Every structure is written in structure tokens, then in C-alpha cells.
A and B are shown apart, each in its own frame.
Chain A
């Protein structure tokens, strides 16, 4: 399993770079992951989504899809795409240090 270094800590990730152990995530790591995903600064609006992703993961064991995020996070789908241009659910999950959201079929 690949290991990357964020915030001077070795973090195991999956092949696509998603955290496999969400408990090891810290807020400073989010900034670094975001930069790698092409997002230079995390604004308060980004943080609303990141915290929401973590809370949902803790409650349900998987991160929400974009549609569910749009309905429940207080940030519309349109704005989610502005904040996280390439696939908001996946990008936000990566920055929030949780595994890739399981989509539905």
C-alpha cells in the first residue's frame, strides 16, 4: 500500500491517494492535499464541506455523493463544482482524509 508524507507524518493511502485511515488526518494535512488537487487556498466554504464530509463518514462509514452533499451540506451542487472543480465528492473526500465515496449503482 502506498505511503505519503503529510504534515511530517507517514500516511497510508490507496492507489488513488485516498486516506485508508481517516483517524490519522489533521487539518494542516488538508491544505497540502488540496494543493495537490489544484486548490491553492481552502476558504471557509471549502471547510464547511470538508467538515461535513468527515461528520458523514463518521456517522455512515462512507462519504456522501455530490447530490446528497448538495441537498444536505448547505452548499449547492453548483457551488460545490466551483469550490472543487473536478468531481466535488471525490476531491472533498480526499482533502477530508476519508476513503473514496462508494457511489450507487
Chain B
């Protein structure tokens, strides 16, 4: 009898995993089902470019089932609950799926309503987020008519997907207003709950330096308590204020609501607390989580989902064969950071090693932690790679799950 692998979520992580698994097993060995609540697969990295008119919303969305290999069963339904003891998933409408292996890949959800006032007066008029399609499109119109004043970019709290995206937004805003010839009339401020521009010190230094060079004010350790849209103020829990004419806020993130409803599956924020190396839920060897849904000390990024996928497929194979798991995820992430003026910089890091300078993936490659035109071209090429290589679950030559060390300049503290 074949086994049934059920993958919850057909976004970046779920689609890549399903297609990779499909290549590993034939249908008689394993049946693979993917469940998602809608049919529109959104290329999320493209959201960054929409507000600046550099990407069109309609070009970022493609049919979700068409990204899946034909042998994958696709079900469009909202997931209602997982019963870990019974090994079943209940879908809205009452259908139940039983599984031998469950992969949770339902990503992160935006929770703007959890911050006082964020979705109150001024929401989508002078308070925006670019983290979803309607928000990014609305922000584009707001930027077009913005003739000067205070533009504030704020990260509400961690974790957030693609932690560099708000910084990229700030860099691109500087570029955008220069191109429009009104940069001198715009005050740009970057507000973060962290004590620097980024989590790890070397990257925080490099990225903080870029903010400074571009004349973007940095406000740190600001825990967003309230957004006063009418009065144009961000207020922190310790009662500091940042005034704005236009605010771009990255809202709180949580896991999918059904994860919290399912006993034993999620943590306090609805993420699945899997083992950081095996991606397996403690005490439930048949349950794995990858991508943004996983509660790991790694970045919530598509690149991480890609690297995890390699480890996941191997470990599912070992689990199904009754063997101990031997593949281990190292937390590897790499991100292109768009900095405007046709430049970007690349960062590459994992659980133990913070972003370093040098080159990627080897001594001859893209410069790390340094702006270059090549990295900008890399970022643009990424969209094509995403649809044609990453989602179909192909390996990228020379870029594997384990973080490469050669070509990097080590820094000793």
C-alpha cells in the first residue's frame, strides 16, 4: 500500500516540497496531496517593487495548481484543524484527509488588527503595508501623489518575513524620490524594534551605514504600541512618538489560525516548533514543518524554504523507510538586498554564522555585503528562476542547503 503525504499550504515552500517529493517517489509508493485555500500563487518578493511602479500586480500572480507536478493531487480548501492523534486533517466543509506524513507549509499570516489603531482611521489612506497585494497597489497610488513630508517605515515586531524587505523599501524610497526630483522635500525615517538596522552586528553595521549614507534617519528599540492615523503618529509602548505624513508599517506576523486551534501543533504565535535541524515536530516523527510556518531561529524567507526542502525530502524518505534521520538543516539563508540606483547587495548566513563579507558561492562569485550591479541583476533574475527552477523543485547548480564557507572572510570578535 502506498503512503499518503499531505502538504498543508501550496505557497513557496509547499509547492517546492511537493514537486521535489514527486520526483523522488512514483505514485504507487506515495500519494502527495497539497491543500491551499485559494488558487492564486503570489510571487511575494515582487511586492517590494509594486509601490515604486517597478512591477505590475497582475504579473506577480499565477495559477497555484499549475505550479504543481501533474501527479500531485491539489485540493482547494481552507484547513480547519489537524488532529495529531488521529493523523487527520479536517478541511472546511467537513472533508477529512488522513496522512502518513504531514508537512505544515502554511506560512505566516499578517495580523495588522493586533496593533491598536493600525487598521483604524487612515488605514490604506496614509497608513499602508506593502506586504500584501492590495496594500502594495494602494501604496503605489499614495506615493505617486506624495509631494513631500515625513515618510516613516516601521517594523512592528519580530518575526517578520524577509527581514530585509523593509530596509530595501527605505533604500528604494530614497531612490524613487530622487528620481522624482523631490528628495529634499521628503524626510525618510526607519523605525525598528531592534537595537540596530538588522539583527546581526556585521550586517547591522553595513546596512545601518547605507541608511546613513542615504540620509535616512534610524530610530531603534521602538516597540510599536499604537498607530494614530488621524494625528499622524506612531506611539511606542514606552510612550515615545514618531510623527508621519505617510506610514509604511510591517504588521505583526503569526502562524495560520488553524495551527493554534490544533492541539499540540503550534506555539504561542501559531508557528510549529519543529527541531531546527531535522524539521520534525518533537514527539511526532511523522509531522514536519518548513518555510515561514516553522518556528525556527532562521529567517522567514523563500531561500530558507528552498534550502529546508532538500533536508525535508531526505528526512521524509528516511522516516518512511524506518531509518533514523540523518540530514540536518543549518539555518542557511541568503538574501539580495535591493539598494536602489540599479544596485543590490547579497547576504548569506546561517544559525551560527552571521552575514560575512567575501564572495558567494565561492571565491569567484557575487560580492557579499557590498553593493554591486551584479547583485541587482541577480535579484531581477530571481523572478524567472523562481517560477522556472525553484518552484518546480530543481536544484540550483553550486547552491546547496549547507552554507558555503569558502570565499568568505571570517571575522573574529
A2 at the interface (CB under 8 A from B): no
* Interface bits B277-302 vs A (CB < 8 Å: 1, else 0): 00000000000000000000111100
* Interface bits B156-167 vs A (CB < 8 Å: 1, else 0): 011100010000
Besides A64-B268, A67-B269, A87-B221, 12 other A-B contacts (C-beta < 8 A): A66-B237, A71-B269, A77-B225, A78-B225, A78-B237, A81-B223, A85-B238, A103-B158, A104-B297, A105-B163, A105-B297, A105-B298
Q: Rank and list the top 9 A-B pairs by shortest CB-CB distance, nearest first.
A: A81-B237, A104-B159, A68-B268, A104-B158, A71-B268, A105-B299, A72-B268, A105-B199, A81-B238
A20 at the interface (CB under 8 A from B): no
Q: Which residue of chain A is the closest to B157 with respect to CB atoms?
A: A67
Chain B residue contacts of A68, Cβ below 8 A: 268-269
- From B221, B237, B297, residue with most partner A Cβ within 10 Å: B237
A64 to chain B, nearest CB (A): 8
* Interface bits A63-105 vs B (CB < 8 Å: 1, else 0): 0111110011000011011000111000000000000001111
Tell me the complex Cα distance, A77–B157, Å. Answer: 12
Q: Which B residues, 353 to 391, have Cβ-Cβ distances below 8 Å to chain A?
A: none
Chain A residue contacts of B159, Cβ below 8 A: 104-105
Q: Which residue of chain A is the closest to B304 with respect to CB atoms?
A: A105
Tell me the complex Cα distance, A102–B158, Å. Answer: 12
The interface residues of chain B, by DSSP majority, are classed as: loop
Chain A residue contacts of B237, Cβ below 8 A: 66, 77-78, 80-81
Q: Which residue of chain B is the closest to A77 with respect to CB atoms?
A: B237
Q: A71-B269, A85-B238 are in contact. Are A103 and B199 (CB under 8 A)?
A: yes
B197 to chain A, nearest CB (A): 14
Chain A residue contacts of B238, Cβ below 8 A: 81, 85-86
Chain A residue contacts of B158, Cβ below 8 A: 65, 103-105
B211 to chain A, nearest CB (A): 19
Q: Which residues of B contact A (CB under 8 A)?
A: 157-159, 163, 199, 221, 223, 225, 237-238, 252, 268-269, 297-300
Tell me the complex Cα distance, A81–B237, Å. Answer: 6
25 contacts between A and B (CB under 8 A): A65-B158, A66-B157, A66-B223, A66-B237, A67-B157, A67-B252, A68-B268, A68-B269, A71-B268, A71-B269, A72-B268, A77-B223, A77-B225, A80-B237, A81-B223, A81-B225, A81-B237, A85-B238, A86-B238, A103-B158, A104-B159, A104-B297, A105-B297, A105-B299, A105-B300
Chain B residue contacts of A65, Cβ below 8 A: 158
A92 to chain B, nearest CB (A): 14
Tell me the complex Cα distance, A80–B223, Å. Answer: 12
Q: Which residue of chain A is the closest to B226 with respect to CB atoms?
A: A78
Q: Which residue of chain B is the closest to A81 with respect to CB atoms?
A: B237
Q: Which residue of chain B is the closest to A84 with respect to CB atoms?
A: B238
Q: Which A residues, 23 to 66, have Cβ-Cβ distances below 8 Å to chain B?
A: 64-66
A76 to chain B, nearest CB (A): 10
Chain A residue contacts of B268, Cβ below 8 A: 64, 68, 71-72
Q: Which residue of chain A is the closest to B198 with respect to CB atoms?
A: A105
Q: Which residue of chain B is the closest to A79 with respect to CB atoms?
A: B237
Chain A residue contacts of B225, Cβ below 8 A: 77-78, 81
Chain A residue contacts of B269, Cβ below 8 A: 67-68, 71
Q: Which residue of chain A is the closest to B349 with respect to CB atoms?
A: A105
Tell me the complex Cα distance, A102–B300, Å. Answer: 16
On whether the beta carbons of A102 and B252 are closer than 8 Å, the reply is no
